[in-house]
Amino acid sequence: MDYYRIAFYLFGALTVLAAVVVVWSRNLIHAGMGLLLTLFGVAGLYALAAADFLAVVQILVYVGGIVILLLFGIMLTQRIAGRAPRTGVVNRTVGALIATGLFVLFVMVIFSARFAELPWIAQGRMIDRESAPPVGSTVERLGQLLVGPYLLLFEVAALVLTVALIGAAYLARRSRQEGARPRRMIS
């Protein structure tokens, strides 16, 4: 077994097991830590797929930024820190049936897909064998694509973030003279 495979299965196992912790843990801090590990495992998978820039961004933005913010949010909000989520589990049987069914379906179709025989992947493999250019850093190429052919996508993504920012600011700000009833301040 080569090192690549070992690394792949290690990161894969890390991602899945940590995700299980996220879903099953009744303690929000544990769930947050699980999320951290899951996203780290995904970053590892990105790196193994030769998407080095994506892996770094995944660690910087998700692991380093968003999950840390999430954990701080949980810890600074004293009301929810040590408490289990109050929502119960409903529709246990139906949910389990649908989830299992989808899982089996996905596993079956993914294993039956035979990616190596798909036309576009077969073509890519042929080109690689002939010339095999060394894969360097992907940053430069990504940058060129983002301000070149995919400029519009880049701009629309910026708009999504702007909308999210405006929306979050609106929902989180202190109320002015709004609403039919005066709002009580949350201490």
Partner 1 sequence: MWLDTLALMPVLLLVVAGLLIIVLDSLDNDSPVLPWVALLGLLGALVLELNRLGGGGRFLFEGLLRVGGFSAYVNAVLLLGGIATVIFCRAYLPRIWHAHGEVYALVLFALVGMMVMAASYDLVLTFLGLETMSVALYVLTGLAREDVRANEAAMKYFLLGAFATGFVLYGLAFLYGTTGTTRLDLLPTRIPNTPLFWVGVGLLLVGFLFKIAAVPFHMWAPDAYQGAPTPIAGFMATASKAAAMSALLLLLGHGLGLVRPQWADVLAVVAALSMIVGNGAALMQGEVKRLLAYSGIAHVGYALVGIASASASGYAGALFYLLAYASAALGAFGVAALWEQRPDRQLPAEDLSGLGRRHPLLGALWVLFLLSLVGFPPLAGFMAKYAVFAAAVQAGKIWLVLIGVITSMISAYYYLRLCVLIWRPVEAHPLPSSGQLASGVLLLTSALLLWLGLWPSGVLELVGRFFEDSGLVLR
Other C-beta atoms closer than 10 Å to the C-beta of 31 total: 20
Residues contacting 28, CB < 8 A, separation 6+: 74, 80, 81, 83, 85
Position 185, amino acid: M
CB of 49 to partner 1, least distance (A): 12
Name which of 1 and 160 has its Cβ closer to partner 1.
Answer: 160
Closest distance to partner 1 from the beta carbon of 103 (Å): 12
Q: Is 185 helix (H, G, I), strand (E, B) or coil?
A: coil
Nearer to partner 1, 6 or 99 (CB): 99
Q: How many residues does this entry show for the chain? A: 187
Residues that bind partner 1 (CB under 8 A): 105-106, 108-110, 112-115, 118-121, 149, 151-153, 156-157, 159-160, 162-164, 166-167, 170-171, 175-181, 183
Instruction: Give the shortest CB-178-to-partner 1 separation in angstroms.
Output: 5
Q: What beta strand segments (E) does the chain contain?
A: none
Nearer to partner 1, 89 or 110 (CB): 110
Copy the structure tokens of residue 6. 């070992």
Q: Give the nearer residue to partner 1 in terms of CB position, either 78 or 87.
A: 87
- Residue 39, both tokens: 């996203």
